[in-house]
Amino acid sequence: MSLLDLHLLGSSTLRTRSVEVAAVDEALRQLIDDLFLTMDTAKGVGLAANQVGITKRVAVVDAESDRFVMVNPIITSAEGRQRAEEGCLSIPEVYGDVTRAERIVLEATDREGRRYTKEAEGLVARAIQHEIDHLDGILFIDHLSALKRQILLARWKKENRGKAVTKSLQPPPSPKK
Active site residues: 131
Residue count of the chain: 177
Q: Shortest distance, CB of residue 26 to Zn ion, whole angstroms? A: 27
| CA pseudo-torsion sign 95, 134, 89, 92 | negative
Q: Give the separation between CA 51 and CA 102, rounded to whole angstroms.
A: 25
Q: Which is nearer to Zn ion, 49 or 88 (CB)?
A: 88
63 binds Zn ion (CB under 5 A): no
Residues numbered 82-101 forming contacts with Zn ion, rule: CB under 5 A: 88
Q: Which is nearer to Zn ion, 70 or 88 (CB)?
A: 88
Q: Which is nearer to Zn ion, 14 or 23 (CB)?
A: 14
* Selection from 144, 101, 134 nearest residue 119 by Cα: 101
- Residue closest to Zn ion when measured from CB atoms: 88
45 binds Zn ion (CB under 5 A): no
Q: Shortest distance, CB of residue 177 to Zn ion, whole angstroms? A: 36
Q: Shortest distance, CB of residue 134 to Zn ion, whole angstroms? A: 6
Q: Which is nearer to Zn ion, 16 or 26 (CB)?
A: 16
52 binds Zn ion (CB under 5 A): no
* Selection from 49, 53, 44 nearest residue 20 by Cα: 49
Q: In the complex, which residues of this chain contact Zn ion (CB under 5 A)? A: 88
